[in-house]
């Protein structure tokens, strides 16, 4: 415990203290209502369809509080919650997490706040017992006592923070060797002999639910000390982003093969079965399979990706750096990199979508995640900024604008129920992958650690492009 006392004290702002005082008042009000008429209190909560929420003794106080209850000593064994009190606990948790840079998620802090409230109330119980019940707020918050209780509990919580490594099973098509994708992300071979018998049996069942047996793990190392839930959620986001980046590069370089790696796509393959015939006595059966995941024929795409990733300014290095930055910037929120992450998520889902109308919707959403900034003229902004992203390419502006307009119009027709010709005049995956690649490079140049509504980036995207037959801009 001596070591914990040396830790930096928890910072609690004045507004946060205000919320804590309001929380105590709300809990005291619920306490009086329950004590006055328990049956009526329960009935009133139930009539509104509300659960009878309570704060019970934290694990380190269960024995002592149970003993007090058994001996009929003064204690508040259970604290009754309200909807307002639950909202206040969430607000306090969010403020404490943010002001103290705690690498955890809010839901992990909520029980710590509740446990601190429970302990504080019972420590200060004499104040409650001796107060006039007609007072509006018998609890005047003792900041020193509460901060001491909260500090001790948070320091115990922080002592469980750790650096962690996560390995997610994936299928890497045509890959033979392990590769390092970035400082903290790599693909390592699946070695079942390292698992115990129970885990091996579960892995067998895991493979039975998938079209292809896993052959690699995507290893994500979280180098910052954090809670398990925080590092788990971050590593899963990074895994999804890295798979999206690899498949985006694949689509961009060879759009006929849209997946080099697969993990948990919802539709790896579809089995079709139906009966048909001229009459019910002469029915035939139709059976077929659809594989939206297009597998590369050889390992050339992997070789190209690995080699190009070794060059700092290469396309692969620009794109594969996104998941690495997600780890490095994990303590910050509302950054441009969040837009890129969402865009990759939609694109990854879109390229494995067999329904053309749904694929168009997802593709447009993936591009919109990058180029739209809560604009009123959504359509024209979408088209104008796609053209701007292509301004560094030797490309006909009118051609890019025409494709962007056709794509957005198709999405609008799907949404608003207008007639739709599903076949576009250009390759959807080829065009969209190029938009995303150019967008990610552009965002990276402006800085993925910038605010997600960067004014400089938006100003550049909205700056005019001079139309010529062919051009090369910067």
Question: What averages of pLDDT result for each successive group of 10 residues across the chain (474 residues)?
Answer: 58 93 88 80 63 82 88 84 90 94 94 94 74 55 91 94 94 91 94 83 85 89 94 94 92 75 68 84 84 71 86 88 94 88 92 84 93 81 91 74 91 80 82 93 90 86 69 39
Closest CA to 76 of 10, 140, 30: 30
Distance CA 391, CA 435 (A): 11
β-bridge mates for residue 168, sequence order: 218
Q: At 92, phi and psi to the nearest 5?
A: -65, -40
Q: What is the predicted pLDDT for the residue at 310?
A: 84
For 100, the token pair is: 């103290």
Q: Name the residue among 261, 283, 262, 282 with its Cα closest to residue 273.
A: 283
Supply the pLDDT for residue 135.
Answer: 52
Q: What angle do CA 90, 94, 96 make, to 5 degrees?
A: 115
Name 219's bridge partners: 167, 186
Residue 80: what pLDDT? 84
Tokens of 93: 């948790």
Burial of 329 (0-12, 13-18, 19+ CB in 10 A): middle
For the whole model, what pTM was predicted?
Answer: 0.84
C-alpha span between 84 and 89 (Å, rounded): 9
């Amino acid at each position: 415990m001596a070591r914990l006392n040396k830790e930096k004290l928890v910072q609690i702002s004045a507004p946060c203290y205000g919320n804590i005082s309001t929380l105590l008042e709300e809990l005291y009000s619920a306490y009086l209502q329950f004590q006055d008429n328990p049956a009526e209190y329960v009935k009133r909560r139930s009539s509104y369809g509300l659960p009878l929420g309570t704060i019970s003794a934290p694990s380190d106080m269960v024995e002592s509080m149970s003993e007090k209850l058994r001996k009929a000593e003064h204690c508040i064994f259970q604290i009754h919650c309200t909807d307002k009190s639950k909202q206040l606990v969430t607000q306090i948790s969010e403020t404490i997490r943010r002001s103290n840079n705690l690498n955890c998620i809010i839901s992990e802090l909520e029980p710590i706040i509740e446990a601190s409230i429970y302990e504080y109330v019972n420590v200060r119980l004499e104040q409650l017992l001796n107060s006039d019940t007609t007072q509006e707020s018998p609890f005047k918050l003792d900041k020193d006592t509460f901060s001491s209780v909260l500090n001790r509990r948070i320091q115990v919580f922080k002592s469980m923070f750790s650096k962690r490594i996560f390995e997610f099973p994936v299928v890497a098509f045509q890959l033979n060797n392990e590769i390092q994708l970035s400082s903290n992300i790599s693909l390592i071979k699946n070695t079942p002999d390292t698992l115990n018998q129970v885990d091996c049996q579960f892995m067998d069942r895991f493979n039975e639910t998938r079209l292809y047996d896993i052959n690699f793990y995507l290893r994500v190392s979280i180098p910052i000390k954090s809670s398990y839930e925080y590092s788990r959620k971050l590593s899963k986001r990074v895994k999804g982003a890295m798979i999206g980046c690899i498949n985006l590069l694949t689509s961009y370089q060879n759009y006929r093969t849209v997946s080099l790696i697969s993990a948990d796509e919802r539709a790896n393959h579809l089995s079709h079965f139906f009966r048909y015939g001229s009459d019910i006595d002469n029915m035939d059966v139709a059976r077929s399979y659809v594989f939206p995941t297009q597998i590369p024929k050889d390992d050339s795409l992997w070789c190209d990706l690995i080699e190009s990733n070794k060059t700092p300014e290469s396309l692969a290095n620009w794109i594969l750096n996104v998941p690495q930055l997600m780890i490095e910037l994990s303590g910050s929120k509302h950054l441009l990199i969040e837009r890129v992450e969402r865009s990759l998520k939609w694109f990854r889902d879109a390229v494995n979508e067999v329904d053309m109308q749904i694929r168009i919707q997802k593709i447009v959403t993936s591009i919109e995640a990058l180029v739209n900034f809560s604009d009123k003229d959504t359509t024209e902004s979408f088209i104008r900024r796609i053209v701007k992203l292509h301004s560094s390419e030797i490309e006909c502006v009118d051609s890019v604008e025409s494709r962007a307009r056709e794509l957005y119009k198709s999405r609008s027709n799907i949404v608003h129920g207008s007639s739709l010709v599903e076949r576009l005049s250009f390759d959807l995956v080829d065009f969209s992958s190029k938009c995303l690649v150019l967008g990610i490079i552009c965002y990276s140049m402006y800085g993925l650690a910038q605010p997600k509504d960067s004014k400089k980036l938006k100003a550049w995207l909205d700056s005019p492009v001079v139309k010529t037959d062919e051009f090369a801009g910067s």
